[in-house]
Homo-oligomer: A and B are copies of this chain.
């Protein structure tokens, strides 16, 4: 009866191979049977109708910048890519909302709303290359979460195509609303396992002032962690409060000389977008830093200088690409355990003989210890990566603060959740995707494999 959408579907093996992975390390990917580059919601509907009728797994994907393998191909699957659904459908200045398709790049949306005097805060590190659909699928975070929240905090409504091809609207355009279950936030962070998001309504804020910033240098990460606690304990909520350890600083230094003092053990960068009150906030930050043995503190006088101060943090991703291979972790711990996390990561690195550079969103307790290794160390690297998750759980934290579970951390989810929560996951997955065709085996082990057993592919 149905077929994959004509004109949007390719079976060219080279194209399929190019679309078969996201940016995760150590995640297997299979051989897909087809790639659908959806040009419309109808293409998504037809793909899911066909896949549902034929019991073929579907892997939803967009910009494929994910770090957990959630968009990797499964043998025999259809890759359903929505990157061409890239229109900003509406920016409503009065209501302070935007309605976008999932393929819109995060930074594109941020710039478009800024042109209208508004602000879309969620700023994952991938903001220049990742799309809103993926940000929603993983409930992506970023630097500004401490003050403004994560992606999910800005999602008001979704259009979702269910596994069988039915189109559903969740949520609402209004500021508040409690009519029925919060389906919107059930789909946010569900990594393509419950439905395919085809439209997102996000809340916006009034534009913030261009941020000022300050950088503090410390001999030890423990001092820097104490400064984080001291500053937040004084009632401040900076839009960014970022930590870089010595290994991270060294990697960045290899890429560009930022004039950091020699032998620095840790750097803490704080922003303030409080306008006329920004100097006062940064003065408070300087006070906290000096109280906690900062060796030097630089406070910017203007936004351009603040940009320069942030540069070191922004270069981390590029700096770590200088190493043959890397495996980025994403644990989030209670803030009081931040120092214990950083310290424990150093011990793990020493014990497995790998380098781990740690930086991240110190204000949220969400760090990115990144194992840097050459390919001969792959097994040790993976073990070290796992040990970091184990440490995060031991410290009362979570295995993933913002990157998602995907394939990479699936086995670890069962260690974080209790039996009843895992049961609830399976029940919900089964309830909304009874045939188990949507991104099977991601987030949770599927009870239904759905791998094309009843393949009656139409011509």
A interface residues with partner B (beta carbon < 8 Å): 93-96, 117, 138-139, 141, 145-146, 149-150, 152-153, 162, 166-170, 172-183, 185-186, 188-190, 194, 205-207, 229, 232-233, 235-237, 276-277, 332-336, 361, 363-366, 396-405, 409, 413, 416-421, 423-425, 427-428, 430-432, 443-444
Contact = CB atoms under 8 A, between A and B. Distances in A.
A131 B237 CA distance: 28
A149 B185 CA distance: 15
Task: Name which of A174, A176, A185 has the most chain B CB atoms within 10 A of its CB.
Answer: A176
B185 A186 contact: yes
A174 B138 CA distance: 17
B418 A168 contact: yes
22 contacts: A94-B229, A95-B335, A138-B178, A145-B175, A145-B176, A152-B182, A168-B424, A175-B363, A175-B364, A176-B401, A177-B332, A177-B401, A178-B400, A179-B398, A179-B399, A179-B400, A179-B416, A180-B189, A181-B189, A181-B190, A181-B428, A182-B185
Q: Main SS of chain A's interface residues?
A: loop
A286 to B, nearest CB: 19
A443 B138 contact: no
Nearest to A419: B166
A428 B425 contact: no
B180 A417 contact: yes
B169 A421 contact: yes
Nearest to A277: B277
A14 B68 CA distance: 58
A91 to B, nearest CB: 14
Given A336-B95, A365-B175, A181 B396 contact: no
A435 to B, nearest CB: 13
A332 B361 CA distance: 36
Given A174-B333, A336-B95, A365-B175, A444 B180 contact: yes
A179 B420 contact: no
A420 B167 contact: yes
Nearest to A182: B185
B174 A332 contact: yes
B398 A174 contact: yes
Given A174-B333, A186-B186, A233-B94, A180 B443 contact: yes
A459 B41 CA distance: 58
A178 B404 contact: yes
Contacts of A427: 431-432
Contacts of A232: 96
A180 B413 CA distance: 7
A95 B336 CA distance: 7
B117 A235 contact: yes
B183 A189 contact: no
A206 B237 contact: yes
Contacts of A183: 421, 424-425
A57 B206 CA distance: 47
A178 B189 contact: yes
B397 A172 contact: yes
B152 A153 contact: no
Given A162-B420, A185-B182, A428-B431, A400 B177 contact: yes
Nearest to A426: B431
Contact of A178 (B333, B403, B421): B403
Contacts of A153: 149, 153
Given A174-B334, A398-B177, A432 B424 contact: yes
Contacts of A177: 332, 397-398, 400-401
Nearest to A68: B178
A415 B400 CA distance: 38
Task: Name which of A93, A117, A177, A190 has the most chain B CB atoms within 10 A of its CB.
Answer: A177
A180 B95 contact: no
Contact of A405 (B95, B180, B276): B180
A185 to B, nearest CB: 4
A131 to B, nearest CB: 17
B396 A173 contact: yes
A95 B334 contact: yes
A93 B335 CA distance: 11
B235 A180 contact: no
Contacts of A365: 174-176
Contacts of A207: 235
